[in-house]
Amino acid sequence: MYSVSVRDHFMVAHSFTGQVFGPAQRLHGATYVVDVEFRRPSLSEHGLVIDIGLAASALKDVLGEFNYQNLDEISSLSGTNTTTELLAGVIYSRISDRIDAGVLGSDASGLTEMSVTLHESHIAWARYEGVLGVGVD
């Protein structure tokens, strides 16, 4: 299996609902480093997994909706605890939609798997991974 990864970051504010979150129930900030790994069993006719420039641009576009925002105020996330795990799934879904729409170029048509890893800190991170073409839970 071949893979290519791209990385970016974004900064948010958010709060959580539920005693399990302790002090994180209060509004707080987070800076995430995001890695997206694209996988396919064989290279495209161009010898690529994916166009790295298009992949990086798509990631930047997806993160742009959240960067410097209070996630509690984003309607598409309303009523959810925007945990690191949940955000990994949201980002996966939005990049997958861009692949399906052809935004990542013709080489992306051969992708079979993708993973999104959000690094919350140097000691904690979460990942969502799946087979492309299969919806996020």
Give the strand pairing for 113-119 and 125-131: antiparallel
Q: Is 22 left (phi over 0), alpha (psi -120 to 50) or beta?
A: left
Helix, strand, coil tally for the chain in percent (to 5): 35, 30, 35
**pTM score, whole prediction:** 0.92
Taking only the tens of pLDDT, the chain with its 137 residues reads 999 999 999 999 999 999 999 999 999 999 999 999 999 999 999 999 999 999 999 999 999 999 999 999 999 998 899 999 999 999 999 999 999 999 999 999 899 999 999 999 999 999 999 999 755 54
Measured distance CA(42)–CA(47) in Å, rounded = 9
Q: What are the structural domains, with CATH classification, of the chain?
A: 1-12+50-120 (3.30.479.10)
